[in-house]
Amino acid sequence: LENAYLNAAHFNLAHNEDAISYFEADGYNIDSLIPLVKDELYKLNEVKGQHPIVPYGSSEGRKMMINTVKMLNHKWIIADFSDGEFWGEVFLTYQINNNHTVTFTLVESFLYPFD
């Protein structure tokens, strides 16, 4: 069980001392920074029309929304999305700006096959 936990925690910002040190050097508290970044990404679900990160259209009458977010380190995020019918995943980079806003950049994405 301990090995499974260590493997799961390996790519996780909350357990990555180098990534934590990167943010602490800029004066950030990691315990408040992680929720800030995730909240900023979830806020994009509220944007009217096409989701600004998810590059796939939704099924009629639905909206693509980010569901689960995992911050891998001080630069990378993976997340899944769905509209209730279609689903996929995105790989993002992120940057914390001087005014404590967050900029996300889509690097890669895929939509799971459907019948």
Kindly list the domain boundaries of the chain, sorted by start residue. Answer: 1-111
User: Do residues 21 and 33 touch, judged by C-beta distance below 8 A?
Assistant: no
8 or 26, higher pLDDT: 26
pLDDT in tens, 89-115: 999 999 999 888 999 999 999 999 876
pLDDT in tens, 16-64: 899 999 999 989 999 999 999 999 999 999 999 999 999 999 988 899 9
Strands 102-111 and 76-82: unpaired
Residue 6 in this model has a pLDDT that exceeds 70: no
Half-sphere exposure of 44 (CA within 13 A, CB side): 23
